[in-house]
Amino acid sequence: MNMMFDKYMQDIKQNNKSSKIFKHFLDHKRPEYLERFSAPEWVRDFIATMTDRYYNEEIKDYMLPWRG
Protein backbone atom coordinates (compact mmCIF):
# COMPACT_ATOMS: atom_id res chain seq x y z
CA MET A 1 0.00 0.00 0.00
CA ASN A 2 2.89 2.40 0.63
CA MET A 3 3.70 2.36 -3.06
CA MET A 4 0.25 3.64 -4.00
CA PHE A 5 0.16 6.09 -1.10
CA ASP A 6 3.44 7.60 -2.29
CA LYS A 7 2.21 7.71 -5.89
CA TYR A 8 -0.96 9.63 -4.98
CA MET A 9 0.96 11.99 -2.70
CA GLN A 10 3.31 12.75 -5.58
CA ASP A 11 0.33 13.33 -7.88
CA ILE A 12 -1.11 15.83 -5.40
CA LYS A 13 2.23 17.62 -4.94
CA GLN A 14 2.63 17.86 -8.72
CA ASN A 15 -1.03 18.83 -9.17
CA ASN A 16 -1.41 15.96 -11.65
CA LYS A 17 -5.07 16.49 -12.56
CA SER A 18 -5.03 13.40 -14.79
CA SER A 19 -4.44 11.21 -11.74
CA LYS A 20 -7.34 9.14 -10.52
CA ILE A 21 -7.05 10.69 -7.07
CA PHE A 22 -8.26 13.90 -8.68
CA LYS A 23 -10.63 12.47 -11.29
CA HIS A 24 -12.30 9.91 -9.03
CA PHE A 25 -12.01 11.57 -5.61
CA LEU A 26 -10.76 15.10 -4.98
CA ASP A 27 -12.64 16.75 -7.86
CA HIS A 28 -15.89 15.56 -6.24
CA LYS A 29 -15.18 16.72 -2.68
CA ARG A 30 -16.68 19.77 -1.06
CA PRO A 31 -14.35 22.65 -0.24
CA GLU A 32 -14.99 22.06 3.47
CA TYR A 33 -13.51 18.57 3.22
CA LEU A 34 -10.44 19.83 1.35
CA GLU A 35 -9.88 22.59 3.91
CA ARG A 36 -10.41 20.40 6.96
CA PHE A 37 -8.11 17.53 6.00
CA SER A 38 -4.53 17.34 4.75
CA ALA A 39 -3.15 15.69 1.62
CA PRO A 40 -2.07 12.51 3.46
CA GLU A 41 -5.59 12.22 4.85
CA TRP A 42 -7.06 12.66 1.34
CA VAL A 43 -4.87 9.81 0.10
CA ARG A 44 -5.83 7.65 3.08
CA ASP A 45 -9.52 8.26 2.44
CA PHE A 46 -9.19 7.61 -1.30
CA ILE A 47 -7.43 4.29 -0.76
CA ALA A 48 -9.96 3.35 1.94
CA THR A 49 -12.83 3.78 -0.52
CA MET A 50 -11.27 1.45 -3.11
CA THR A 51 -12.63 -2.00 -3.71
CA ASP A 52 -10.08 -4.79 -3.92
CA ARG A 53 -10.58 -4.97 -7.67
CA TYR A 54 -10.05 -1.23 -8.17
CA TYR A 55 -6.90 -1.28 -6.02
CA ASN A 56 -5.50 -4.28 -7.90
CA GLU A 57 -6.15 -2.55 -11.23
CA GLU A 58 -4.38 0.57 -9.96
CA ILE A 59 -1.36 -1.51 -8.95
CA LYS A 60 -1.28 -3.14 -12.38
CA ASP A 61 -1.58 0.23 -14.15
CA TYR A 62 1.21 1.68 -12.02
CA MET A 63 3.60 -1.26 -12.27
CA LEU A 64 2.76 -2.35 -15.82
CA PRO A 65 1.82 0.87 -17.67
CA TRP A 66 2.55 -0.69 -21.06
CA ARG A 67 -0.11 -3.41 -20.67
CA GLY A 68 -3.06 -1.15 -21.46
Nearest to 55 by CA among 16, 8, 15, 13: 8
- R_g over Cα of the chain: 12
Task: Tell me the C-alpha to C-alpha distance, in Å, between residue 58 and each of 1, 20, 30, 31, 37.
Answer: 11, 9, 24, 26, 24
Residue 63 CB-density burial (10 A; 0-12 exposed, 13-18 middle, 19+ buried): exposed
Segment 17-56, tens digit of pLDDT: 999 999 999 999 999 999 999 999 999 999 999 999 999 9
Instruction: Using the predicted structure, report yes or no on whether residue 67 has a pLDDT greater than 90.
Output: no
Whole-model pTM: value is 0.87
